[in-house]
């Protein structure tokens, strides 16, 4: 479809609806949803012609099961609670307008009442937002109300309330069901099991099993890899089939999986498989090993965040929960356990649900595909591709989407290259590569594919989750022509000819760049080695190429269990942010210091940890790639005659310096010191708590004058007393661009490096 006619511009229009009760803006939104509704119809009618799924859905709903819609709301900050405009989660969540169109389609075309439907989500951050939004609203805001996006006069969250409003307005007066019923229960936090919901369209937070343990049921995992059994919300898997009352309360569901197509930070893509494979695990699932101990999540507090106990990589580290640091054995080696990693985690839960006879329909929101990031961190980029894909097979659907994302070479050329090079696939894309030219490393164009290195779809097929094979049918609403596929390549039939559908975007995630764009990074390492005599390529292969086949695949991401520790650190950082008047500052400092700095070098921490050393290689190489794209050409101070920028890559030492300076200060010169850096957070905390916010302009942790650091530097240089804090850094990091930074001391003491001391050491971060 035409992506610009779909949900483009909806956040701005919705702000006018909320703030100004603008009827014209709402009419424009509903017109856009109508457009999506029409095109969802093309997709689902085509799917029904091939599979006959409509009859199965109708039969199961008539039997008493709920039609349960599962969006992807990894960060449901879609409506900003202050501005009512677009919040950070808007690009990366399933768009609420798609949900509105989809629910209307099932209602209008399958004659399913709205109270026979439900919405369920196990968002990783909804529990945290309860606290954040509650403080902003001055009263309790439930996670269900966050999914609604409105709680009385408080707006903030996703937007299901506006789904309800649209459905009510497009509702035939002859129908007695009312999509607005159930909203008040969301706001009040009143819970009704699906079988006792009556005439309500209920929203279920699938995370919340701790409030009432009877909401969950532990089910077996056929052929379990990482888990032999999994506890899930009974809204998904239904009640105990041996207990008539329980089955009456929880009759089971037809699961409509509605993911957002995004590039992932620890994996290839997040779409149909991951929206179930991670998204169904409940965060607040008691582990029965103590208060606030959770089966799948950390930290062990009342507000767990990351599903950190799920294996996200094959090697899982044993963690000392008191320190969030890894445990070593008597030989000084990390204690790790080999698992099936992310593929096993995802396949386990999907097979567990399939084993409960849950019929699934998968509908992917790929109108805007999301590049660069899948989290609400402000760097996700919308790519208006204009697709709605549907399937009964999540593996086939994701295989198609991955192939689409990583193909910029036409099929005929790709097949020829595949044969000539012995490639495993012809789905390849153009990527930048590095080569030596004189004293410089310059950028050229090459070909690569992450599908060379990705095993999930093969593994999922072997586990019985689905099949890799697929074909395409449907309708191109722009050209008015049928969709089809040829050898797995999607296209349209125009004048009896097959016209390929191809992206023009280079999809990748910087966090996962070694795996997404391996040829780019490793050819830079190889070029640098040739030019300078370094051994960077060898370090990469030694750190990651576990089977020594010369390829680092997605299941080879280090044997120290980095992401186990990473999620433990991140979850504790978020817990800090949720507590105390200045938790946002302390949590940010803790995250940067412990995840990205202290544990990359054994000399930078008292325990001699280096579990992030291998990942530092990835971060430096990714930094070098970013620096090669700089518009200005500059001399490299570490390699005589070398330049960087304008398509030329920096030396490894310079890229490392830029990366570390960015983490510690936010940049490489005094005027670039940023508020989110180690120095920036320590400075803000000291000013607000010890100096009454004289420089930052407020004692509120969320308010700071952007000129505060520069003002402080000028004041100190003119003789003003420095603030009472010290940031300790390794030797060589106390100055920027030849200027000594106030309140920074260089040290070789691993117990002090990357710590901040306030009020003469009375408080230490």
pLDDT tens-digit readout, 311-358 = 999 999 999 988 989 999 999 999 999 999 999 999 999 999 999 999
Q: Which of 649, 664, 679 is the last residue of a domain?
A: 664
Per residue in 427-469, pLDDT (tens digit) is 999 999 999 999 999 999 999 999 999 999 999 999 999 999 9
- Region 9-22: mean pLDDT is 98
Q: Do 308 and 183 reside in the same domain of the chain?
A: yes
Taking 80 as the threshold, does the pLDDT of residue 11 lie above it?
A: yes
pLDDT of residue 128: 85
Question: In this structure, what token pair is assigned to residue 184?
Answer: 């008040």
Please name the helix (run of DSSP H) or strand (run of DSSP E) that holds residue 458, with its range, or none: helix 456-462
Task: Select from 508, 541, 576 the last residue of a domain.
Answer: 508
Same domain, residue pair 272 and 366: yes
Same domain, 299 and 429: no
Q: Say yes or no: 61 and 108 in one domain.
A: yes
Q: What is the pLDDT of residues 544-558, one digit of tens each?
A: 999 999 999 999 999
Least confident of 40-54, 165-179, 195-209, 516-530: 165-179
The mean pLDDT value for 25-45 works out to 98
Residue 127: pLDDT band (50, 70, 90) is confident
- The pLDDT, as a whole number, for residue 213 is 92
Kindly report the backbone phi and psi dihedral angles of residue 487, in degrees, each rounded to the nearest multiple of 5, phi listed first: 55, 35
Q: What is the mean pLDDT of residues 293-312?
A: 92
pLDDT surpassing 80 at residue 288? no
Q: Is residue 152 part of a domain?
A: yes
Q: What share of the chain is helix, strand, coil (3-state, %, to 5)?
A: 40, 20, 40
Does residue 382 share a domain with residue 297? yes
Closest CA to 125 of 157, 90, 155: 157
Residue 758 to residues 62, 698, 704, 731, 748, Cα–Cα distance (Å)? 65, 19, 19, 21, 20
Does 635 have pLDDT greater than 90? yes
β-sheet bridge partners, residue 432: 445
Residue 442 shares a structural domain with residue 480: no
pLDDT of residue 580: 77
Shared-domain flag, residues 195 and 277:
yes
Q: Is 296:478 a contact under the CB 8 Å cutoff?
A: no
Task: For residue 581, name the pLDDT band (cuts at 50, 70, 90).
Answer: confident
For residue 423, being part of any structural domain is answered with yes
- Going through 455-602 in order, the beta strands assigned E by DSSP cover 474-476, 481-486, 489-494, 497-500
**pLDDT score recorded for residue 150:** 98
Residues 188 and 58 in one domain: yes
Instruction: With a cut of 80, say whether residue 693 has pLDDT above it.
Output: yes
Assigned domain for 380 exists: yes
Same domain, yes or no, for 305 and 413? Answer: no
Mean pLDDT (the chain) is 96
Which pLDDT tens digit goes with each residue over 705-762?
999 999 999 999 999 999 999 999 999 999 999 999 999 999 999 999 999 999 999 9
Q: What is the 3-state secondary structure (H, E, C) of 577-594?
A: HHCCCCHHHHHHHHHHHH
Domain of 558?
A: 408-448+517-664
Residues 701 and 611 in one domain: no
pLDDT number for residue 162: 98
pLDDT of residue 301: 87
Q: For CA atoms 182, 186, 188, 189, give the dihedral sign.
A: positive
| pLDDT grade for 174, boundaries at 50, 70 and 90 | confident
Distance CA 528, CA 517 (A): 17
| pLDDT (average), residues 573-582 | 87
- The H or E element that residue 341 is part of is helix 341-354
Tell me whether residue 14 is in a domain: yes
Residue 670 is assigned to a structural domain of this protein: no
Q: How many residues does the chain have?
A: 765
Q: What is the pLDDT of residue 703?
A: 92
**What are the tens digits of pLDDT across the range 37-90?**
999 999 999 999 999 999 999 999 999 999 999 999 999 999 999 999 999 999
In a domain? residue 675: no
Estimate to the nearest angstrom the gap between the alpha carbon of 180 and the chain centroid.
30
pLDDT band at 289 (very low <50, low <70, confident <90, very high): low
Element (H, E) at 513: helix 513-516
In a domain, 671, yes or no: no
* Tokens found for residue 152: 């009385």
Q: Give the three-state DSSP class for 384.
A: strand
**550 assigned to some structural domain:** yes
Is 256's pLDDT higher than 80?
Answer: yes
pLDDT for 305 equals 87
Work out the average pLDDT over 588-609: 97
In the chain, the number of structural domains is: 3
Residue 492, classed as helix, strand or coil, is strand
**pLDDT tens string 489-500:** 999 999 999 999
CB contact burial 67-93 (16+ within 10 A = b; e otherwise): bbbbbbbbbbbbbbbeebebbbbbbbb
Q: Do 471 and 533 belong to one domain?
A: no
Residue 239 · residue 217 · CB < 8 Å: yes
Dist CA 522 CA 520 (whole Å)? 6
Per-residue confidence (pLDDT) for residue 172, from 0 to 100: 84
> Which pLDDT does position 175 carry in this prediction?
83
CB 265 within 8 A of CB 512: yes
Please indicate, yes or no, whether residues 497 and 588 belong to a single structural domain of this protein: no
Q: Are 678 and 668 in contact (CB under 8 A)?
A: no
Of 322 and 296, the one with more pLDDT:
296
Angle of helix 518-532 versus helix 613-628 axis, rounded to 10: 90
Q: Does residue 235 contact residue 253 with C-beta atoms inside 8 Å?
A: yes
Tell me the pLDDT band of 126, cut-offs 50, 70 and 90.
Answer: confident
Contact 168, 180 (CB under 8 A): yes
Nearest CA to 750 among 572, 595, 602?
A: 602
């Amino acid at each position: 479809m035409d992506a610009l006619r779909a949900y483009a511009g909806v956040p701005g229009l919705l702000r006018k609806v909320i703030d100004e009760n603008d009827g014209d803006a709402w009419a424009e939104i509903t017109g856009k949803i109508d457009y999506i509704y029409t095109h969802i119809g093309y997709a689902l009618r085509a799917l029904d012609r091939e599979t006959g799924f409509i009859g199965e859905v109708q039969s199961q709903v008539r039997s008493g099961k709920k039609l349960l819609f599962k969006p992807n709301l990894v960060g449901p900050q879609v409506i900003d609670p202050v501005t009512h405009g677009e919040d950070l989660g808007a690009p990366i969540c399933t768009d609420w307008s798609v949900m509105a169109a989809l629910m209307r389609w099932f209602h209008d075309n399958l004659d399913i009442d709205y109270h026979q439907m439900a919405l369920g989500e196990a968002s990783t951050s909804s529990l945290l937002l309860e606290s954040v939004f509650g403080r902003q609203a001055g009263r309790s805001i439930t996670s269900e109300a966050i999914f609604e996006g409105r709680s009385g006069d408080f707006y903030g969250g996703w937007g299901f309330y506006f789904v309800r409003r649209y459905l009510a307005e497009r509702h035939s007066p002859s129908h007695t069901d009312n999509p607005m019923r159930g909203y008040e229960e969301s706001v009040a936090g009143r819970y009704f099991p699906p079988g006792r919901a009556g005439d309500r369209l209920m929203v279920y937070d699938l995370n919340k099993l701790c409030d009432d343990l009877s909401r969950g049921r532990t089910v077996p995992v056929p052929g379990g890899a990482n888990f032999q059994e999994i506890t899930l919300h009974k809204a998904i898997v239904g009640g105990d089939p041996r207990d008539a009352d329980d089955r009456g309360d929880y009759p089971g569901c037809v699961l409509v999986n509605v993911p957002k197509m995004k590039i992932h930070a620890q994996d290839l893509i997040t779409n149909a498989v991951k929206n179930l494979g991670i998204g169904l695990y409940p965060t607040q699932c008691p582990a029965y090993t103590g208060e606030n101990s959770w089966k799948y999540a950390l930290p062990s507090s009342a507000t767990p965040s990351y599903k950190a106990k799920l294996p996200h990589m094959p090697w899982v580290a044993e963690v000392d929960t008191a320190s969030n640091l890894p445990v070593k054995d008597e030989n000084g080696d990390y204690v790790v356990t080999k698992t099936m990693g992310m593929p096993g985690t995802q396949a386990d839960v999907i097979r567990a649900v399939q084993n409960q006879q849950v019929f699934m329909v998968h509908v992917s929101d790929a109108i805007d595909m999301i590049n660069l990031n899948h989290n609400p961190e402000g760097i996700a980029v919308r790519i208006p591709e204009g697709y709605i894909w549907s399937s009964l097979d999540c593996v086939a659907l994701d295989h198609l989407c991955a192939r689409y994302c990583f193909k910029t070479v036409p099929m005929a050329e790709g097949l020829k290259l595949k044969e000539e090079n012995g490639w495993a696939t012809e789905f390849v894309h153009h990527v930048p590569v590095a080569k030596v030219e004189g004293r410089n490393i310059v950028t050229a164009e090459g070909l690569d594919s992450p599908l060379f290195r990705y095993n999930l779809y093969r593994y999922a097929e072997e586990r019985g989750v689905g099949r890799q094979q697929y074909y395409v049918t449907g309708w191109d609403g722009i050209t008015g022509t049928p969709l089809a596929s040829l050898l797995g390549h999607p296209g349209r039939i125009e004048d009896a000819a097959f016209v390929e559908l191809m992206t023009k975007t280079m999809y990748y995630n910087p966090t996962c760049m070694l795996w997404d764009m391996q040829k780019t990074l490793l050819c830079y390492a190889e070029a640098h080695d040739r030019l300078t005599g370094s051994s960077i390529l060898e370090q990469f292969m030694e750190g990651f190429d576990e089977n020594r086949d010369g390829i680092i695949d997605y299941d080879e991401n280090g044997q120290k269990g980095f992401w186990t520790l990473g999620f433990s650190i991140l979850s504790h950082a978020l817990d800090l942010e949720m507590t105390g008047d200045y938790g946002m500052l302390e949590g940010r400092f803790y995250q940067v210091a412990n995840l990205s700095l202290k544990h990359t070098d054994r000399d930078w921490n008292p325990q001699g940890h280096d579990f992030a050393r291998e990942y530092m290689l990835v971060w430096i190489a990714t930094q070098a790639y970013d620096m090669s794209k700089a518009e200005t050409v500059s001399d490299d101070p570490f390699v005589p005659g070398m330049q960087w920028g304008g398509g030329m890559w920096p030396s490894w030492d310079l890229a490392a310096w830029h990366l570390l300076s960015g983490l510690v200060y936010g940049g490489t010169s005094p005027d670039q010191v940023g508020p989110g850096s180690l120095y920036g957070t320590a400075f803000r905390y000291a000013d607000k708590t010890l100096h009454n916010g004289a420089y930052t302009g407020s004692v509120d942790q969320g308010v700071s004058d952007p000129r505060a650091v520069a003002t402080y530097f000028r004041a100190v240089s003119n003789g003003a007393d420095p603030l009472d804090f010290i940031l300790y850094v390794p030797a060589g990091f106390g100055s920027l661009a030849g200027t000594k930074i106030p309140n920074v001391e260089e040290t070789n003491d691993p117990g002090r490096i990357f710590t901040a001391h306030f009020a003469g050491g009375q408080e230490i971060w």
